[in-house]
C-alpha cells in the first residue's frame, strides 16, 4: 500500500491575510462607511450592496473597488476578486496593498506566476511589507521553489515575528527542504501565536503524523476540524490520523466528510480508495480511485493504487493498463516494473514479465524483490535450477527478506540443504516478522519436514500457517461458506432439465474445448500436462475463462442483474454470442491446435453454461480420495484459494462440490469423463489412452513422457509435474490420521 496522502494547507483563505485594508480607508462617505461597518461585521451580502451603490456613483472609487474585490474573495469568487482589484490597481497603481491582495486572489486561482509578479510589485512600492512577503513565499512554495520561498518568509518574520501565517508557510517550505526539526518548530509557533488558525493546526497534526506521532497528531487534527468544519483538507488530515490509529470507520467518515465539502479534493478520493483497499473492499475502492486518476491523471501514485486494486481483484488486464500508465509517467519506478511484471505473468505474457523484472533489478540492484519474482517465473517455466539461483540471489541481497526462503523450501522439499533449513528456522524466530511472510515460511518448512517424515511437527507448522492466513483474510478476500452454499443452490435451480431442454442445439458444434475440472489438488494439472504433451493439443493453463463467460451473461442479455439471475433468460442468440467470445479466446491462446485444454479446478461450478455453449466439448472430471485432497489443500500456500485454511470450510466446500457433481451427472446433456488420480499414477498409459480417445485424437506416446514437455505451469503442482508419475501421494492422509484428526473427521464420507 502506498504511503498515506497528506494535504498541507497554506495561508488561510480569510480576509485577515489580505493586509490591514480597513485601516487605510480614507473616503468615509455615508454609503462607504455603512459598507465598511457591515463588512467588518461579516454581513457580506449587505456590504456588497453598499459598495455597489458607491460604485454606481463613482466607477473609479479605488477603495470601493478594492474592498468589493476583497469581499468577493471572501465569498469564494476569486475570479471576480481579480477583476475588481485589477480595476482598483488601474486607478491607484501605487497602492501596495492592492497589489498584495491581487496576488493572493491570483494565488487561490492557481495563477502562481501572476501572483508572484503582483507581490514583487507590492514590495517594490513597500519593501518592508510582511503580508506581501508572506504571499510571495506561499506562491513560490506552490511553484516548487521552497528555498526562495523560505528566504522571503524568513524576511517576513524578521519584520513581523508574530506573523502566524508566515510561520505556517515557512514550515511547509522547510518540510520540502528536508529540514524537519525546524519545520516542526515553525508549525508549533504558528499554532501558539494563533490557536484558532485551523490550517496551522491541521498542518501540525499532519506533520506529527508523518513523524509517527499519531496520538498527538489526532488532537491537532480534531481541533482544526472543530475550528473550521468547512475546511475539507482538515477533514482529510483527520481521516489520516484516525486511519493511522486503525480507527477505520471514523477515518472513512472523515474522508467522506472532506469530499462532501470539496468533491475535487483529489487526495481525499485517493485516501478513501486506499482505506477501502485496506479493508478488503476492492470493488468499492475502485470508485474513488478512478475519480482520483480522473482528477489528477498525471499522478503516478494514484495510478499505482488503482493498479494494485485491480490486481487484488485478479483483473489483470485492467491492472496492466494502470501499471503501464504508472511507467509512462515514471519510467524509472521499480515498483511499477515489478507490478506490471506480475500482472503480465498472471496473464501468461512471460517474456514481457521477464523484461520488466530485469529492468527492476537494474533500477534496484540491491533489492531482493526482482530476483525473487524472476525465480518464481523460472519455476513456472520449469527452469528449476535457474529458479533456485534466483531465490539464492534474493536471499544474499536481503537476508531478512522471508519469501525466497519459503519458495526455496517448497521447491527443494526433502532435498533442501540443512544450512538453508536452519536459515529458514532462524527467520521464524524474528518476532517482528510480517504475518503473511511467517505463514509462507511455515508452509515451506512443512513441505521439508513432510519429506523427512516428521509428521507431528508438520501438523504444528500447518496449524500455525493456516491460522495466520485465515486471520489475514478480510473484506472480499474473506471466505463466506453460506454465500457459496447459496450460490450452489442457485446453480441447482437455474440449470435444471427445463434449462437444457430449452437451450438444446443452441451452442457451438465444436470439439476444440477440453474442460478439465475437479477439486484443487485432485490431479487437474497432471491431466492437463498429459494432454498438452500431445502434438495436437494446447494446454492453456488456469485461464479462468469459464467464470468470465458466466459473469458475462448479464451483458450478453443487456440486463443489469446478477449472472445467476440472468441465466434463466439465456436464449440461442445469447448462448451463441457467449460461446463465440469464449472460443475466440481459446483460439488466441491455442493457435492452430485442434484441441485446447481449458483447465481450472472450479470449472465444475460452470458446467451448466459450458455444456450449453459447447455440447460437443470434452469434459474431464478429476477425482481423488477426499482425505488426500484435504491434506494436500491444508499443506498448500494458495495465493487466492480462500477456503483451504479452515477444516470446516474445506469440509463444507467438499460437500457442495459432491452435491453439484451429483446434479450435473443427472442433468448435463454431455458425457463427463471421470479420471481417478489413484489410477492415473498407477496405470498412466491406460488413463492417457482413454483421454486421448475421448478427445477424438490418435494416440501420441509423448503423453507418457509429460514431465519432459516444456510449457509454463502456474499451479501448486509446478514441481511435481516436472517428474515422472509417482505413487507416494496415494493415501498420504494416513501419515496424518492422528495429527489432523479434526480435519479428516469433518470430511463428507
pLDDT tens digits, residue range 531-580? 999 999 999 888 889 999 999 999 999 999 999 999 999 999 999 999 99
Mean pLDDT on 665-675: 95
438 in the same domain as 560 = no
pLDDT of residue 348: 85
Mean pLDDT on 582-597: 92
655 C-beta neighbours (distance < 10 Å), count: 16
Percent of the chain past pLDDT 90, that is, above it, reads 84
pLDDT tens digits, residue range 165-175? 999 999 999 99
| Contact criterion met (CB below 8 Å) for 187 and 211 | no
25 in the same domain as 103 = yes
Closest CA to 119 of 92, 97, 146, 94: 97
Q: Is the pLDDT of residue 15 over 50?
A: no
Concatenated DSSP letters of 455-483: HHHHHHHHHHHHHHHHHH--GGGS--HHH
Mean pLDDT on 687-705: 95
pLDDT tens digits, residue range 487-546? 999 999 999 999 999 999 899 999 999 999 999 999 999 999 999 999 999 998 888 899
Mean pLDDT on 474-480: 90
3-class DSSP string for 152-187:
HHHHHHHHCCCCHHHHHHHHHHHHHCCCHHHHHHHH
Closest CA to 705 of 516, 534, 525: 534
Cell for 517?
A: 475440472
pLDDT tens digits, residue range 355-409? 999 999 999 999 999 999 999 999 988 899 999 999 999 999 999 999 999 999 9
| Contact criterion met (CB below 8 Å) for 69 and 62 | no
| Chain position carrying cell 520488466 | 356
Kindly tell me the sign of the dihedral angle through the C-alpha atoms of 372, 377, 378, 382. Answer: positive
Taking the C-alpha atoms of residue 500 and residue 571, their distance in angstroms, rounded to an integer, is 11
pLDDT of residue 5: 62
- Cα 30–chain centre separation: 63
528 in the same domain as 667 = yes
499 in the same domain as 531 = yes
pLDDT-derived band of residue 17, with 50, 70 and 90 as boundaries?
very low
Q: Is the pLDDT of residue 464 over 70?
A: yes
539 pairs with which residues across the strands? 597
Q: Is residue 358 part of a domain?
A: no
Kindly tell me the sign of the dihedral angle through the C-alpha atoms of 486, 490, 493, 497. Answer: negative
Cell for 402?
A: 522471508
Q: What is the dihedral of CA 199, 149, 175, 208, to 10 degrees?
A: -20
Q: Which H or E run contains 370?
A: helix 369-380
pLDDT of residue 4: 55
Cell for 232?
A: 475539507
- Cα 461–chain centre separation: 30
Domain range spanning residue 434? 402-472
Say how many domains are in the chain.
Answer: 4
pLDDT of residue 720: 62
**Least confident window among 5-9, 62-66, 130-134, 412-416:** 5-9
590 in the same domain as 551 = yes
Running DSSP on this structure, what letter comes out for residue 601?
Answer: G
711 in the same domain as 611 = yes
pLDDT of residue 542: 84
Running DSSP on this structure, what letter comes out for residue 646?
Answer: S
pLDDT tens digits, residue range 260-296? 999 999 999 999 999 999 999 999 999 999 999 999 9
340, exposed or middle or buried, with CB in 10 Å at 0-12, 13-18, 19+?
A: buried
pLDDT of residue 749: 76
708 CB-side CA count, 13 A: 6
66 in the same domain as 212 = no
| Contact criterion met (CB below 8 Å) for 333 and 346 | no
| Chain position carrying cell 461458506 | 481
Q: Is residue 379 part of a domain?
A: no
Q: Is residue 513 part of a domain?
A: yes
705 in the same domain as 560 = yes
pTM: 0.86
Taking the C-alpha atoms of residue 180 and residue 213, their distance in angstroms, rounded to an integer, is 14
| Chain position carrying cell 506562491 | 139
**CATH code (residue 494):** 3.40.50.300
Q: Is residue 16 part of a domain?
A: yes
672 pairs with which residues across the strands? 619
Cell for 718?
A: 509446478
**CATH code (residue 202):** 1.25.40.10
496 in the same domain as 467 = no
Q: Is the pLDDT of residue 114 over 80?
A: yes
673 pairs with which residues across the strands? 620
Of the three residues 239, 262, 285, the one that is the final residue of a domain is 262
Taking the C-alpha atoms of residue 676 and residue 681, their distance in angstroms, rounded to an integer, is 9
488 in the same domain as 435 = no
Taking the C-alpha atoms of residue 487 and residue 564, their distance in angstroms, rounded to an integer, is 8
Mean pLDDT on 189-212: 95
pLDDT of residue 16: 35
Q: Is the pLDDT of residue 3 over 60?
A: no
Taking the C-alpha atoms of residue 378 and residue 381, their distance in angstroms, rounded to an integer, is 5
pLDDT of residue 614: 97
**Least confident window among 172-186, 533-547, 687-701:** 533-547
Mean pLDDT on 421-442: 95
Q: Is residue 515 part of a domain?
A: yes
**Least confident window among 31-40, 187-196, 213-222, 438-447:** 31-40
699 in the same domain as 595 = yes
| Contact criterion met (CB below 8 Å) for 152 and 116 | no
Taking the C-alpha atoms of residue 397 and residue 257, their distance in angstroms, rounded to an integer, is 45
Mean pLDDT on 631-654: 93
624 CB-side CA count, 13 A: 29
pLDDT of residue 25: 37
pLDDT of residue 10: 61
- Distance in angstroms between the alpha carbons of the first and the last residue of the chain: 44
- The mean of the pLDDT values for the chain is 92
3-class DSSP string for 57-69:
HCCCCHHHHHHHH
545 in the same domain as 674 = yes
Q: Are strands 513-518 and 672-676 parallel, antiparallel or unpaired?
A: unpaired
pLDDT tens digits, residue range 246-264? 999 999 999 999 999 999 9
- Cα 662–chain centre separation: 39
197 CB-side CA count, 13 A: 28
Q: Is the pLDDT of residue 8 over 70?
A: no
685: phi > 0 → left, psi -120 to 50 → alpha, else beta; which?
alpha
Of the three residues 440, 455, 472, the one that is the final residue of a domain is 472
Mean pLDDT on 188-202: 95
Cell for 140?
A: 513560490
Taking the C-alpha atoms of residue 241 and residue 220, their distance in angstroms, rounded to an integer, is 10
Q: Is residue 179 part of a domain?
A: no
pLDDT of residue 41: 85
Q: Is the pLDDT of residue 228 over 60?
A: yes
Q: Is residue 273 part of a domain?
A: no
pLDDT of residue 174: 96
3-class DSSP string for 434-461:
CHHHHHHHHHHHHHHHHHCCCHHHHHHH
- Cα 540–chain centre separation: 27
pLDDT of residue 371: 97
pLDDT of residue 34: 86
pLDDT tens digits, residue range 699-737? 999 999 987 776 565 565 555 655 676 677 889 999 999
Q: Is residue 49 part of a domain?
A: yes
Of the three residues 152, 184, 217, the one that is the final residue of a domain is 152
pLDDT of residue 1: 42
The CA-based angle 542-545-550, given to 5 degrees, is 135
Amino acid at each position: 500500500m502506498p504511503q498515506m496522502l497528506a494535504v498541507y494547507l497554506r495561508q488561510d483563505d480569510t480576509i485577515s491575510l489580505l493586509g490591514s485594508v480597513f485601516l487605510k480607508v480614507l473616503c468615509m462617505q455615508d454609503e462607504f462607511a455603512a459598507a465598511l461597518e457591515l463588512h467588518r461585521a461579516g454581513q457580506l451580502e449587505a456590504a456588497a450592496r453598499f459598495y455597489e451603490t458607491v460604485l454606481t456613483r463613482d466607477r473609479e472609487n479605488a477603495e470601493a473597488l478594492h474592498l468589493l474585490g476583497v469581499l468577493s474573495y471572501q465569498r469564494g469568487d476569486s475570479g471576480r476578486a481579480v477583476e475588481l482589484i485589477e480595476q482598483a490597481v488601474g486607478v491607484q497603481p501605487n497602492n501596495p496593498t492592492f497589489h498584495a491582495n491581487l496576488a493572493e486572489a491570483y494565488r487561490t486561482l492557481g495563477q502562481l506566476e501572476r501572483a508572484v509578479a503582483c507581490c514583487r510589485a507590492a514590495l517594490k512600492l513597500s519593501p518592508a511589507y510582511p503580508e506581501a512577503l508572506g504571499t510571495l513565499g506561499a506562491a513560490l512554495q506552490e511553484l516548487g521553489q521552497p528555498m526562495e520561498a523560505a528566504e522571503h518568509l524568513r524576511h517576513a518574520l524578521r519584520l513581523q515575528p508574530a506573523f502566524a501565517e508566515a510561520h505556517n508557510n515557512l514550515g511547509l517550505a522547510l518540510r520540502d527542504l528536508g529540514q524537519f526539526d525546524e519545520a516542526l518548530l515553525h508549525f508549533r509557533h504558528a499554532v501558539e501565536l494563533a490557536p484558532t488558525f485551523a490550517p496551522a493546526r491541521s498542518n501540525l497534526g499532519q506533520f506529527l503524523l508523518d513523524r509517527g506521532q499519531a496520538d498527538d497528531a489526532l488532537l491537532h487534527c480534531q481541533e482544526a476540524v472543530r475550528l473550521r468544519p468547512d475546511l475539507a483538507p482538515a477533514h482529510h488530515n483527520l481521516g489520516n490520523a484516525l486511519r493511522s490509529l486503525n480507527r477505520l470507520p471514523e477515518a472513512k467518515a472523515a474522508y467522506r466528510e472532506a469530499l462532501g465539502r470539496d468533491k475535487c479534493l483529489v487526495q481525499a478520493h485517493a485516501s478513501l480508495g486506499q482505506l477501502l483497499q485496506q479493508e478488503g473492499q476492492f470493488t468499492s475502492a475502485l470508485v474513488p480511485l478512478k475519480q482520483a486518476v480522473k482528477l489528477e491523471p498525471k499522478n503516478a501514485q494514484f495510478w499505482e493504487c488503482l493498479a494494485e486494486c485491480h490486481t487484488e481483484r485478479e483483473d489483470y488486464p485492467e491492472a496492466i493498463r494502470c501499471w503501464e500508465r504508472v511507467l509512462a509517467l515514471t519510467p524509472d519506478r521499480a515498483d511499477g516494473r515489478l507490478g506490471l511484471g506480475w500482472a503480465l505473468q498472471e496473464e501468461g505474457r512471460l517474456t514481457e514479465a521477464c523484461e520488466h523484472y530485469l529492468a527492476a533489478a537494474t533500477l534496484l540492484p540491491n533489492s531482493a524483490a526482482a530476483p525473487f519474482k524472476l525465480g518464481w517465473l523460472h519455476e513456472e517455466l520449469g527452469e528449476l535450477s535457474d529458479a533456485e539461483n534466483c531465490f539464492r540471489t534474493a536471499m544474499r541481497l536481503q537476508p531478512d527478506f522471508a519469501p525466497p526462503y519459503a519458495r526455496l523450501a517448497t521447491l527443494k522439499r526433502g532435498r533442501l540443504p540443512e544450512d538453508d533449513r536452519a536459515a529458514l528456522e532462524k527467520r521464524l524466530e524474528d518476532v517482528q516478522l510480517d504475518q503473511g511472510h511467517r505463514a509462507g515460511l511455515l508452509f515451506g518448512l512443512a513441505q521439508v519436514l513432510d519429506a523427512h517424515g516428521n509428521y507431528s511437527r508438520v501438523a504444528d507448522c500447518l496449524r500455525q500457517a493456516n491460522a495466520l492466513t485465515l486471520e489475514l483474510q478480510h473484506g472480499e478476500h474473506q471466505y463466506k461458506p453460506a454465500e457459496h452454499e447459496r450460490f450452489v443452490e442457485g446453480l441447482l435451480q437455474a440449470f435444471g432439465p427445463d434449462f437444457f431442454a430449452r437451450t438444446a442445439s443452441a451452442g457451438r458444434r465444436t470439439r476444440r474445448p477440453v474442460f478439465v475440472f475437479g477439486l484443487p489438488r485432485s490431479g487437474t494439472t497432471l491431466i492437463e500436462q498429459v494432454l498438452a504433451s500431445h502434438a495436437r493439443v494446447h494446454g492453456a493453463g488456469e485461464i479462468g475463462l469459464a467464470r468470465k463467460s458466466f459473469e458475462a451473461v448479464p451483458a450478453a442479455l443487456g440486463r443489469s442483474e446478477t449472472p445467476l439471475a440472468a441465466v434463466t433468460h439465456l436464449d440461442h442468440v445469447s448462448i451463441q454470442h457467449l460461446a463465440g467470445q469464449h472460443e475466440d479466446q481459446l483460439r488466441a491462446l491455442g493457435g492452430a491446435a485442434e484441441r485446447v485444454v481449458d483447465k481450472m479446478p472450479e470449472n465444475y461450478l460452470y458446467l451448466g453454461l459450458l455444456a450449453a455453449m459447447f455440447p460437443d466439448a470434452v469434459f474431464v472430471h478429476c477425482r481423488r480420495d477426499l482425505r488426500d485432497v484435504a491434506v494436500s489443500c491444508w499443506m498448500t500456500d494458495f495465493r487466492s484459494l480462500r477456503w483451504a485454511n479452515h477444516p470446516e470450510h474445506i469440509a463444507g466446500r467438499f460437500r457442495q462440490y459432491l452435491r453439484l457433481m451429483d446434479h450435473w451427472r443427472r442433468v448435463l446433456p454431455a458425457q463427463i469423463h471421470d479420471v481417478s488420480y489413484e489410477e492415473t499414477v498407477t496405470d498412466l498409459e491406460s488413463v492417457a489412452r482413454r483421454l486421448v480417445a475421448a478427445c477424438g485424437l490418435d494416440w501420441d506416446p509423448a503423453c507418457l513422457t509429460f514431465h519432459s514437455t516444456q510449457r509454463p505451469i502456474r499451479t501448486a503442482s509446478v514441481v511435481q509435474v516436472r517428474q515422472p508419475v509417482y505413487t507416494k501421494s496415494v493415501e498420504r492422509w494416513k501419515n496424518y490420521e492422528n495429527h489432523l484428526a479434526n480435519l479428516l473427521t469433518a470430511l463428507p464420507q
